[in-house]
Structures are given as C-alpha cells and as structure tokens.
Structure 1
Amino acid sequence: MGHRLSKIYTRTGDAGTTGLGDGKRVSKNSLRIHALGEVDEANAIIGVLLCEDLPEAVRALLTDVQHDLFDLGGEVCIPGMSMITGKQVTHLENQLDAFNAELEPLKDFILPGGTRAAALAHHARTVCRRAERALVALTQEEAVNDGPRQYLNRLSDLLFVLGRALNRAGGRGDVLWQKRKNA
C-alpha cells in the first residue's frame, strides 16, 4: 500500500477544489466529484445494510460489492483508469440469476419494505440508481469506461432482488402495491 493518511485535514480543499487520483485539482461541484460522491454514498448504505442480520451468502456478496464499489470510485477518481470490467458485471448477473431463481415470479409491483434488511436493500437500490445517473451525466461531458455504468445498473437490479430475497429469508413476502388503494 502506498501513502498512509496520518493527517486527515489538509486544508487543500478550503478554496472549493479537490484533488483527483492523478493529482489534477477540480471543483468540488464538478460532475466527476458528484459521481464519485454518489458512488461513495452507495457504498456507505450497503455498509449500513451489512449491519443487519443477513444470510451468509448475502453478506459475502455485499462485502465483495463494497470492494468493487471502492474500485469503481477509484476508476472515477483517476481519469483513464480501468478497474471495473465485464468480469465484475458478469459476476453480478450470475448472482442476480441465482437469487432470483429462488423467488416466486413477480406479478405485481412491490413497495420497498417488509423487513428492515429488505427496506435497506431497496434504499441502497435507489442510491445506486442515483449514482448511475450521476455517472451517465459525467459520460456526457467526459470519457468514462462502460464498465462502471454497467456495474451500477446490474447492482441496482441485484439490490431489488436481494430486497425480495431478504423479505423471504425474514419470513415475509413481498409488500405488494395496491393500485388506487386510498382513492
């Protein structure tokens, strides 16, 4: 491992800029820093989900996802870097297929809820979608590899399925949306 942080505050961002991994300084409100912050938040909410009592397979998967998201953030932080590839995307697809195969076919829209763990998975899904949107905005202004965008897209799908799987593991079914319930 390279440099260690021995001093957390540096004062280098006091003027509204921050450093990228390649040493370049950019505005803290740049699209790249915005996308990086959204990816960081997605990783943080998955950390909150990991505080729950989870099936071991889900725990192991989400721990791997956190490492991938840190790599993804590194790729966003260092323009031109490539760390997220089709291999990680395919892994998510395989996990998505495996967890989804154990669930009843979805016939209705569901609400984000049920068990606390399922609700947190749905919350993580929405944060992941926001990170994906921020990355798409960045790609409209700067060159960014396809891997991170594809990874976030698959991860949000996986988090949806994990929400359903966590409800099932918690002895709950899907929370079904009832059209015009309160009309």
Structure 2
Amino acid sequence: MKIYTKTGDAGTTALFGGTRVKKYNLRIESYGNVDELNSYIGLIKDQDISIPIKESLLKIQNELFTLGAMLATPPEKETLKNGKERLNIPKIDDASILFLEEEIDKMDLELPQMTHFILPGGHQSVSFCHIARCICRRAERLVVELNDQENINIDILKYLNRLSDYLFTLARKLSKDLSVAEIKWIPTKN
C-alpha cells in the first residue's frame, strides 16, 4: 500500500465512512489536534520516567487514537446500512475517564498541596507535560465547538477535560520525581 494517495491534493480529505470535507473542517481540526496531542504524549513517554507512568501514557495514546477515530466518524455515518456500527472498536467511555481520575488521585497522594499557580518549566520533561496539557485544552475547545454544531459522544469531552488535569498532575509528579522545584507564580509590582 502506498503512503500517498493524491486524493487530498485539492484540499479535501475523507472522514471515516467516505464523506469528503475541506482539510480545515472543524472535525478535521478537532482530531488533528488530538493527533498532535498524541505525538506530544509519545515525547513525554520517551523521557527518562518510571515504567508505570510510561505504561499509563501508552494506554492514553491508544485511547487518543480511538478518540480520534470517533471524531473522524460523522454522526450520519456511525451506522452501516445493515444496522451495525461502522466503528467496531471499544469506545471512550466512563471506564476510560475513571482510569484518568484514578491515575490523578494516585499521583496527587504523593504531591504537596498547591498554594500558588505553577509556571510551566523547571525541567524538559515537565515542560513537555505542560505543552501537551495546552494542546489538550485546545483540542477540547475545538471539540466543544464541534459539539455545538453536531452532537458528539459527550465522553469525548469528559475525557479531554480529565486528560488535561492528568497532564497537569503528571507535570507536578515529574517535578517531584526529578527533584525539581515547582516554579510558583508570584505576581510582582513593576
């Protein structure tokens, strides 16, 4: 199979189910941002971090691929003519969201209570978490807009919202694991 198809040369791409849309379509923007997020999570996973965190990140990467496939399937194409689901894979659901919440809670038990906002930085691995968190929030904003135009599975929104919390907590956890001081935001007068 060739990697290039030339079908997108005129600025359109196919959604799952065959519908062709412009490459700037909000649905494409939404799952494109999820793809970018997935790449950054891969970058975090490639850092010198614990095996359990790497395993959690791999699970999240797989779930983001599923989430992207869900976003790439327009509502009118979710069901085949024979009544079966077009996207015949496990979907993002309450269990996916619960996994993130449990991971956040485990990390949070090891962390000092926050007393200030925290500035991104302190170590490259921590900064990668913050970049991923920002991309996750951007993806979430786009999916909210998409949901305003056509209903999507609400678990997608919940998952992205929880994932950004996970990435923030992971940044804090990596700061602790790497013995890096968190950079507190303390407004100063000029």
TM-score range, shorter chain: over 0.9
Does 2:32 correspond to 1:24?
A: no
Aligned residue identity for 1:47: G
Residue 141 of structure 2 aligns with which residue?
133
**C-alpha displacement of 1:121:** 0.6
For 2:155 and 2:17, the matched residues in 1 are separated by 20
Question: In the alignment, is the contact (CA less than 8 A) between 1:99 and 1:161 conserved in 2?
Answer: yes
Aligned residue identity for 1:137: E
Task: Tell me which of 86, 91, 97 is aligned to 2:94.
Answer: 86
Structure 2 runs not aligned, ≥5 long:
79-86
Instruction: Name the TM-score, length of structure 1 as normaliser.
Output: 0.93
Residue 41 of structure 1 aligns with which residue?
36
Does 2:121 correspond to 1:113?
A: yes
**C-alpha displacement of 1:46:** 0.7
Q: Secondary structure at the match of 1:103?
A: coil
> What percentage of aligned pairs have identical amino acids?
41
For 1:75 and 1:51, the matched residues in 2 are separated by 26
For 2:176 and 2:116, the matched residues in 1 are separated by 16
For 2:173 and 2:148, the matched residues in 1 are separated by 35
The runs of 4+ residues in structure 1 deviating greater than 6 Å are: none
> What does 1:1-183 correspond to in 2, within 5 Å?
6-80=1-75, 81=78, 83-180=91-188, 183=190
For 2:149 and 2:10, the matched residues in 1 are separated by 24
For 1:100 and 1:124, the matched residues in 2 are separated by 19
Per mean C-alpha deviation after superposition, the further-off stretch among 74-83 and 108-117 is 74-83
Structure 1 runs not aligned, ≥5 long:
1-5
Residue 84 of structure 2 aligns with which residue?
none
